[in-house]
Every structure is written in structure tokens, then in C-alpha cells.
A = this chain, B = another copy of it.
Amino acid sequence: MSVLPKALEDLIEQLGKLSGVGPRTAERYALGILKRSSNDAIELAKALESLHSSIKTCPKTFALISNDQELSSLYTDPLRDKKVIAVIEDPLDIVSLEKTGQFKGTYHVLGGVISPLDGIGPEQLHLHSLVKRISEDAVEELILALNASVEGESTALYLQKLIEEAELTVKITRLARGLPVGIDLEYADQITLKHALEGRTQL
């Protein structure tokens, strides 16, 4: 004899498949949805149903775009500088960079970083299409906006090698490493502090 109604148990099971959601969190979400109006549940259901069929990947930048678009509007926009490409891991990184309002170039989503432990090799990432873009769009600068991890570093090195092999000349930069705003010096970890010292700037 089950303790909860089957419909609720089904929902808990499905919610438990969300990344990082355990059984207790799934229970809490499900009860929260049940407590709110059925309209909200239907709205969420509709958003889920149309998700996969209305989204595709931009064949140029590999950003997520609507099914009725051909290319990412951040790429086709004439105001965006196609000669500067920010190389990112994940489509959501575009949101973070766009929020700064400081970047006027275009994006290239790698779809991850090289990580042998997770079974991700260079061939699964959009690296060759990036090299192709460099010559096609006469790109002048690649900004590597990857996470500051071992995997991010090795992906950067691999990409550098690919560009050298293709005999292309492009300036490769990466995001500055240093103290984040609002963090006390005494709480900063040693590696961050080492980067902050190395990258010190003159006032």
C-alpha cells in the first residue's frame, strides 16, 4: 500500500531526475506545486512539452536558438563585432557575459571542456568549427572565457595547438584571474592570491 497518491509519487519521481534534486527536495517541490493552483502546473507542463521541439543549436556559434531562426541573433546582429569571439563552455555563460553589458563581440559555445575522467575528448567539443570560423570571419581575438579549472586550462592549450597547426594568427586572451569583488584577502585561497599577485596592475 503506497502512502502517497500515485499521481504525486509519479511527479516526485520525475522531479527527482532534475540535476541535483534528491528525493526530499523532489517531495517538497511536488507538494509546493500541488498547493498552488492547477494553472501553474499546466503552464509548467506546457513549457516542458514545447521545449525540445522549439529549440535548436546555432550551426555557427552553437548557442541555443529558436527553431525559426537560422543563426544566433547575437551573431547576425550587425552591431556585434565578428572579429572578436568569446569562447565559452556552456550556452548559459552567454547570459552571464551579456549581463555585464561590456562585451560586443560574438560567442562560440564549446559544449564543455576536455575532461578524460568524464569521457569528454576534444572530438566531442566544437573546436574544429571554431578554427574554421577564425579564417572565415578573419577573427582577430579569441577571448577564452572558460572556468578556471585544470580542464579549462587543458582545453585552452589544446585549442592553442590546433590554431598553430592551422597556421592562423589570432590574438588569444583569457579572462583575468584575481580577487573577486567583495572577498576579504584573508578568505581568498592561495591559488587565487597567487594569480592576483602575478596579474597585478599599476595604479
Contact = CB atoms under 8 A, between A and B. Distances in A.
Given A40-B17, A44-B14, A48-B42, A8 B55 contact: yes
B52 A48 contact: no
A4 interface: yes
Contact of A7 (B1, B7, B66, B92): B66
Contact of A18 (B32, B42, B65): B32
A41 B49 contact: yes
Contacts of A45: 44-46, 48-49
Nearest to A98: B3
A68 to B, nearest CB: 10
A119 interface: no
Contacts of A10: 47, 50
Nearest to A52: B38
Q: Tell me how many chains of this kind the complex includes.
A: 2
A26 B154 CA distance: 30
A125 interface: no
A54 B45 CA distance: 15
Q: Which 5 residue pairs of A and B lie closest in terms of their CB atoms, listed nearest first? A: A38-B52, A19-B32, A45-B48, A45-B45, A7-B54
12 contacts: A3-B94, A5-B54, A5-B64, A6-B54, A7-B47, A7-B55, A8-B64, A14-B44, A17-B40, A34-B51, A38-B53, A45-B48
Given A5-B66, A8-B64, A31-B91, 19 more contacts: A1-B73, A3-B94, A5-B54, A7-B50, A7-B66, A8-B51, A8-B55, A19-B29, A20-B28, A27-B95, A30-B51, A31-B92, A34-B51, A34-B55, A38-B52, A41-B49, A41-B52, A45-B49, A48-B48
